[in-house]
Amino acid sequence: MAKRPAIAPRKQPVQARSHATVEAILQATVRVLTKVGYDRTSTNKVAEAAGVSVGSLYQYFPSKEALAVALAERYHERLFAVMFERLREVATLPIHDAVRSVIWAIVDAHRADPVVHRILTEQIPRIGKLGEILKDIEVRATPIVRQYLEARQREIRVKDLDAAAYVVVVTVQVLADRISHNKDPLELSRRVDATCELVSRYLVDDNAERKRS
C-alpha cells in the first residue's frame, strides 16, 4: 500500500519574515496550480515560483498535499468569517431578509476569489481533507444559526431547531458554492432567489407572518 503523504504543516510561522515566506509560498501555490493543474504541481515548482529554496518550503509544508490543504483551510476560514459577521449583522432582521443577506454574502465571498475557489472545487477534493474542513465549518456555523432561529422562533414552523439549523447550514453551504460558479449575472441572481425561497419556505410559518402583518 502506498504511503499517504503528510498534510499537516511542519511548523507555524512566528516572526514577520517567516509569515512573509509562508504567504509567498501559498500565493505561488495558487499560481502553479492555476498554470499546470494539481497533478503536475510539485513542491519544486512552487518553491521556484515563490523564490525560495525547497528546503525553506519543507520547513513549513511537507508535501504538495499539505500546500493544498493550507489553501483550503485559509479559504474556508475567511468564508466562515464572512458568514459569522453577516449572521451577526442580520440578528434582528426577519427571516426572509436574513436568509437573503447571508446567502448573498457567502456567494459574493466565493466569487471574490474565483481562482482559489475553482482550484478547491476541481482539484483539492481528491486529497480527502476538504471534507473535514467543510465539516468543521458546519459544526461551527450550526450553533450560530440555531441561536438566530431560537430568537425568531415565533416566525418559524419547524419545531426541531437543532435539525433545522443543520439543514439550513448544509443547504446554504452546498448551493452557495455551486451557484457562485455561474458567470451570468442574471442566472446567478435567479439561482440565489431560488435558494432563498427554498430556505425561507422551509423555515417560515406563513400563517404567523400574516398574523404579524
**pLDDT of res. 186:** 94
Per-residue pLDDT at 13? 60
Q: What's the CA gap between 53 and 55, in Å, rounded? A: 5
pLDDT of residue 115: 79
Give me the architecture of the 69-207 domain, per CATH. Orthogonal Bundle (1.10)
**What pLDDT is recorded for position 45?**
97
Q: Note the pLDDT of residue 125.
A: 62
Q: What's the DSSP call for residue 53?
A: -
Question: What 3-state DSSP class applies to 182?
Answer: coil
Query: Phi and psi dihedrals of 156, rounded to 5?
Result: -110, 155
Give me the residues paired with residue 156 across strands: 204
Residue extent(s) of CATH 1.10.10.60 domains in the chain = 16-62
CA distance 112 to 116: 9
Predicted local confidence at residue 147, as pLDDT = 93
Q: Which CATH superfamily is domain 16-62 in?
A: Homeodomain-like (1.10.10.60)
Identify the segments of the chain with pLDDT beneath 70: 1-16, 123-130, 205-213
Residue spans in the chain of domains classed CATH 1.10.357.10? 69-207
Residue (of 54, 71, 55, 57) closest to 25 by Cα position: 57
Model confidence, pTM:
0.80
DSSP 6: P
